[in-house]
Structure 1
Amino acid sequence: MKKYLALLLILWIPFGCETEHKLTFEPLELHGESCKSCPEITINLPHALDDTGVATAINRSLREEVIALLSFSDNKDIGNVDDAMASFTDSYKELKAKFPDEIEWEAKINGEVIYEDANLITIVVNSYTFTGGAHGYGSTSYLNFDKTKGAELENWELFDDPEGFEKFAETKFRVQEKIPQDSNINATGFMFEGDAFHLSNNVGYTNDGVQLIYNQYEVASYADGPIILTLPYSEVNLFLKRKVKS
């Protein structure tokens, strides 16, 4: 019996070490108003349950992300997701009343934890909205959080050497997109402002490395879709404040 207990203890120790730093989440699913003249709104997000500062920061940031995506009213302060969904719905209803042939609007927002270690957690938010026109718009946002400080991190706070990382990322971007290293960054059709490379607005930790996502229209045309650059930790740990074993 003692042998079995010892074996169970040995198996439990690495498992416990692997999971003890994980935050606890539950799925949060929300839908907009259901009616003939209502747009389709579907929201799926992770909701942090832990009684910690970082859990509070995560839930607040996700709420703010949804509000920014759905808010269509400039006349009132929208402080919660329900009001944001109502803003999106009311704007469509008003347009539909004036133009009965208006195509139904749509909003889909999905969030997912894609990286977590003892110090940092990253959540990706993928969204798609259609509010008329030739096509809808899809975007990806990365939200990075310092678990110790209990706060969302700005992109520059991820790096010990932001300038070095940007230079390294440009080199890798040029290789991936087949842009000669000695040519203008826009030589092959990209649209970097000022003809100078810059980091994406969306930088996040993933299991495969640090990832940069340039959303549609950010540096290329809509038809080109999002541009994704993934840099393995073995190559970028030198620049990071929070190193990751590779």
Structure 2
Amino acid sequence: MKRFTSVFLLLNLLLSCSENQKLTFNDISFDPVNCESCLPVEVNIPRAESADDIGKNINTAVSELVIEILNFAEEKQPETIEEAIEEFQSAFKELKDEFPDSPDWEATIDGEVSKEKKDLICIRINSYMFTGGAHGYGATSFLNFDAKSGKLLEHSDLFKDRKGFMALAEKEFRKQENISAASNINSSGFMFENDKFHLPENIGFTDSHIVLHYNQYEIASYAEGPKILELPLEEVKRFLNY
């Protein structure tokens, strides 16, 4: 009986440790505080709360993307989000000193965990930037991670049958955009390179769908906006590794 009790307590301890190590996400924000002359810059992103490499890998990749979006420094490369925000402010100040009539810049970056399961974590980053010109620019980026290691996944890691997935995706894209199978993919004004369908730069996941997100200018004009194709996971899981 004592032996059974000891085994039971050990199992409870192991399960408790496992639960304590479970990856969780909290939202964190970066924005200028108590600064009347600062530009409107807001960054809200999920942060993985984990002491192991999984959380570190995820947080590093998310931070690097945010820095890349904000970065206007040609010589000095920001190492943190706070530095990137400061450099964004400084770049505008330099422009304003030279061209006083320049309109104010702005930047908003919002992130969320769009899918989290035992083998895959997907984070969606929506951004909007205005740095002068006729209009601002909004974009969506997806970061996909192996949930067991925190490794940032490439598109090639997602598919076990990329060719088969592309064939299905093109068929559904044509159906969505009313392009017949016999017509050139660019016949209705799209700008696919070499007149051939290709997957977007950003592929992400929700609980029920895989999302193919073509940002503005990627395959169509700014006026057309982003093009988004969502395919049910149940229909495409045979093509996927995750």
TM-score, scaled relative to structure 2 = 0.88
Q: Say what the alpha-carbon RMSD is for the aligned residues.
A: 1.8
Structure 2 counterparts to residues 1-246 of structure 1, below 5 A: 23-32=23-32, 35-242=35-242
Identical residues among aligned pairs (%): 48
Instruction: Give the SS at the match of 1:134.
Output: coil
CA drift of 1:215 comes to 0.4
Work out the CA distance in 1 between the residues paired with 2:124 and 2:240: 19
CA drift of 1:150 comes to 2.2
CA drift of 1:37 comes to 4.2
Work out the CA distance in 1 between the residues paired with 2:81 and 2:166: 35
Instruction: Give the SS at the match of 1:58.
Output: helix
Instruction: Give the SS at the match of 2:23.
Output: coil
Work out the CA distance in 2 between the residues paired with 1:24 and 1:70: 26
More displaced 10-residue stretch of structure 1: 164-173 or 25-34: 25-34
Instruction: Give the SS at the match of 1:74.
Output: coil
Work out the CA distance in 2 between the residues paired with 1:107 and 1:193: 30
* Gaps in structure 2 of 5+ consecutive residues: 1-18
* Gaps in structure 1 of 5+ consecutive residues: 1-18
Work out the CA distance in 1 between the residues paired with 2:178 and 2:84: 42
Letter in 1 for 2:24: T
Asked if the contact 2:120–2:145 (Cα under 8 Å) also holds between the matched residues in 1, the reply is yes
Work out the CA distance in 1 between the residues paired with 2:20 and 2:238: 27
Equivalent residue, structure 1, for 2:8: none
Letter in 2 for 1:66: V
Letter in 2 for 1:111: G
CA drift of 1:208 comes to 2.5
CA drift of 1:22 comes to 6.0
Instruction: Give the SS at the match of 2:197.
Output: coil
Work out the CA distance in 2 between the residues paired with 1:124 and 1:233: 17
Runs of 4+ in 1 over 4 A off after TM superposition: 19-22, 33-37
Work out the CA distance in 2 between the residues paired with 1:226 and 1:54: 32
Asked if the contact 2:179–2:185 (Cα under 8 Å) also holds between the matched residues in 1, the reply is yes
CA drift of 1:34 comes to 5.4
CA drift of 1:228 comes to 0.6
Asked if the contact 1:54–1:145 (Cα under 8 Å) also holds between the matched residues in 2, the reply is no
Work out the CA distance in 2 between the residues paired with 1:216 and 1:20: 42
Asked if the contact 1:22–1:116 (Cα under 8 Å) also holds between the matched residues in 2, the reply is no
Letter in 2 for 1:135: H
Work out the CA distance in 1 between the residues paired with 2:90 and 2:48: 30
Instruction: Give the SS at the match of 2:143.
Output: strand
Total equivalences in the alignment: 225
CA drift of 1:23 comes to 2.5
CA drift of 1:50 comes to 1.4
Asked if the contact 1:186–1:195 (Cα under 8 Å) also holds between the matched residues in 2, the reply is yes
Asked if the contact 2:30–2:82 (Cα under 8 Å) also holds between the matched residues in 1, the reply is no
Work out the CA distance in 2 between the residues paired with 1:22 and 1:235: 30
Asked if the contact 2:21–2:50 (Cα under 8 Å) also holds between the matched residues in 1, the reply is no
TM-score, scaled relative to structure 1 = 0.87
Work out the CA distance in 2 between the residues paired with 1:103 and 1:221: 24
